[in-house]
């Protein structure tokens, strides 16, 4: 059963062990309606990811880990062969929900590794180990985001004017966010940042989510349309751009919400530092370049109808609606991870940094 609540003081994704379910903030309802939603079925978990009820690469990873624990708990009375067969099937099913965010497959691989590592154990013991792994993934996310925040804050001066795109905030992680982590830590230290949030067409995650959560936490926040960002930079009003990402290739190319690459091009032209905030889990050492990153194509209705009382494009016209674009590494000033800041050439610096 859903219930109303305040955004402050709750985790974006949580495990309810008494009811054996995953509890999420349904982000499709924000900012008008803040509700918790309980999920305990594989089909509903798939839909929650696909429909963006839970979104943001780190949050999706934690959600998948908690989801696989909840599903495994439902199957702990099976023998191992039946259990592992069903476990793999459900993990593969969840993995198919969104192809771009590498945290999804990363978390599922970790859970699958635990389930497969010792078939001689009683299934309830394997389930207990899956619980431990899922909680570790959650705890790591919190610490990683705080680490990103600390390294990012070292690059910023009090009173800085910042710009961000989409939502890489606390709603995209468990706490702190990635691109917003330096902002929240700065808020705690009295830095008094001013933040411009691109509305982020077509799903408006910047306007609906980032502006909402920042303003709730007292940050001086302004929303602007995506095509206004270059105009603002041209006037010298932006000190730095901070964005998140769903996957980083070995060469530093970064996939993030559609429109990020245009923001990076404008920042490069006007000499504004452009930083990608990336948990180490989003760095995919199996992907050499951005062109190898699969890009999810979304429903045309998101562009033509979703936010309008009447359809805003002629019926029958085609719609191009990719969820992400790839920002070339040459446009990125630095990649901020929990281990430190990587600078070009990223092929060397990312590997050296993450080998710590």
- CB burial class (10 A; 0-12, 13-18, 19+) of residue 4? exposed
Choice among 11, 26, 246, 253 that is catalytic:
246
What is the radius of gyration, based on Cα positions, of the chain?
A: 20
Phi, psi angles (nearest 5°) of residue 23: -115, 125
Dist. CA 152–CA 148, nearest whole Å: 6
CA distance 147 to 61: 18
Q: Angle CA(42)–CA(25)–CA(131) in degrees, nearest 5?
A: 50
Contact 54, 13 (CB under 8 A): yes
And the tokens for 145? 């985001």
- Separation between Cα atoms, residue 283 and residue 279, nearest integer Å: 7
Residue 102: C-alpha distances to residues 60, 229, 355 (Å): 10, 28, 19
325 is catalytic: no
DSSP 221-239: EEEE-GGGHHHHHHTT--S
The 10 Å Cβ neighbour count of residue 101 is: 27
Give the Å distances, CA to CA, from 110 to 32, 43, 61, 315, 320: 36, 21, 10, 45, 35
Q: Which residues fall within 8 angstroms of residue 128, CB to CB, at 6 or more apart?
A: none
For residues 235, 240, 246, 251, the Cα torsion angle rounded to the nearest 10 degrees is 100
Residue owning tokens 């302004």: 222
Measure the CA–CA gap between 150 and 182, rounded to whole angstroms: 6
Which residues are known to be catalytic? 246
């Amino acid at each position: 059963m859903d219930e109303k609540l305040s955004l402050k003081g709750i985790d974006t994704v949580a495990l309810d062990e008494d009811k054996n379910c995953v509890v999420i903030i349904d982000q499709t309802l924000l900012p008008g309606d803040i509700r918790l939603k309980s999920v305990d079925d594989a089909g509903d978990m798939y839909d929650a990811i696909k429909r963006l009820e839970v979104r943001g690469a780190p949050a999706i990873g934690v959600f998948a880990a908690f989801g696989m624990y909840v599903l495994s708990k439902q199957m702990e009375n099976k023998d191992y062969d039946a259990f592992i067969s069903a476990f793999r099937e459900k993990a593969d099913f969840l993995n198919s929900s969104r192809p771009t965010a590498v945290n999804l497959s990363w978390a599922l691989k970790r859970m699958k590794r635990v389930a497969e590592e010792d078939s001689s154990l009683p299934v309830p013991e394997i389930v207990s180990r899956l619980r431990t792994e899922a909680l570790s993934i959650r705890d790591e996310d919190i610490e990683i985001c705080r680490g990103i925040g600390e390294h990012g804050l070292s690059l910023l001066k009090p009173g800085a004017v910042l710009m961000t795109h989409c939502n890489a905030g606390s709603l995209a992680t468990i706490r702190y966010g990635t691109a917003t982590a330096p902002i929240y830590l700065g808020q705690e230290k009295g830095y008094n940042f001013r933040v411009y949030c691109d509305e982020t067409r077509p799903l408006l995650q910047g306007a609906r989510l980032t502006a909402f959560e920042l303003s709730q936490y007292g940050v001086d926040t302004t929303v602007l349309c995506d095509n206004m960002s270059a105009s603002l930079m041209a006037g010298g009003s932006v000190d730095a751009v901070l964005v998140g990402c769903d996957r980083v290739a070995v060469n530093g190319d970064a996939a993030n919400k559609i429109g990020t690459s245009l923001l990076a091009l404008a920042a490069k032209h006007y000499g504004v530092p452009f930083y990608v905030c990336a948990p180490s889990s989003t760095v995919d050492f199996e992907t050499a370049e951005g062109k190898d990153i699969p890009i999810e194509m979304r429903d045309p209705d998101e562009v033509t109808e979703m936010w309008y009382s009447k359809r805003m494009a002629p019926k029958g016209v085609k719609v191009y609606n990719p969820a992400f674009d790839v920002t070339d590494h040459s446009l990125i000033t630095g990649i901020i991870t929990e281990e430190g800041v990587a600078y070009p050439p990223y092929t060397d610096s990312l590997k050296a940094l993450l080998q710590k």
